[in-house]
Amino acid sequence: MGKIDVMGNRRGQIQMGESVAILFIFFILIVFGFVFYMKILGSSAQVEFEENIQLQAIGVAQRVSFLPEVQCSRDNVRKENCIDLLKLEHLDEIVPTNQLHYFDLFGFSRIRVQQLFPPGDDLAVYDNVPDTFTDKLSTFIPTSLYDPRTGDFHLGVLVVEVFS
């Protein structure tokens, strides 16, 4: 009878060892699953962050396009996708006195107009670059530039850079 107890005891030890091994493997699988889940969650958060920056850049570009301070108009009729060069040249007198208002509209961004044809100067609309930033997203919008002094239209690009 003593032998039966020893054999039963060994079987119990073997079963206990199997249970511990199964629990160990189970916990390792749980840890791998958790690490995989966190990697997926982190990458989706990064994608969402980039989408938010792109939406912010598009919003800033739209606000600039419809800014009355730079829009072309003739007889109080606004022209679509057109920037008045005379208004733009004098915008630097308005922006510093209303910095808080323009910060609410544009945040941390740099907005400028490049005259492509005929080649001309780059004119700043707004410039508020943070001291430190991690990402910069640039948006380029082709636009018409109107010079009311001569009545000529030129080809230009509205460059909007948003920082985060």
Task: Tell me the one-letter amino acid at 139.
Answer: T
Tens place of pLDDT per residue across the chain (164 aa):
555 566 667 888 888 889 999 999 999 999 999 999 888 887 888 888 888 888 888 899 889 888 888 999 888 888 888 999 999 998 888 888 899 999 999 999 999 999 999 898 899 999 999 988 888 888 899 999 999 999 999 999 999 999 98
Ordered by start, the domain boundaries in the chain are: 48-163
User: How far apart are alpha carbons 73 and 81 in whole angstroms?
Assistant: 11
Beta bridge partners of 110: 127, 161
Task: Tell me the one-letter amino acid at 114.
Answer: Q
pTM for the predicted model, two decimal places: 0.71
Give me 147's structure tokens. Answer: 């010079």
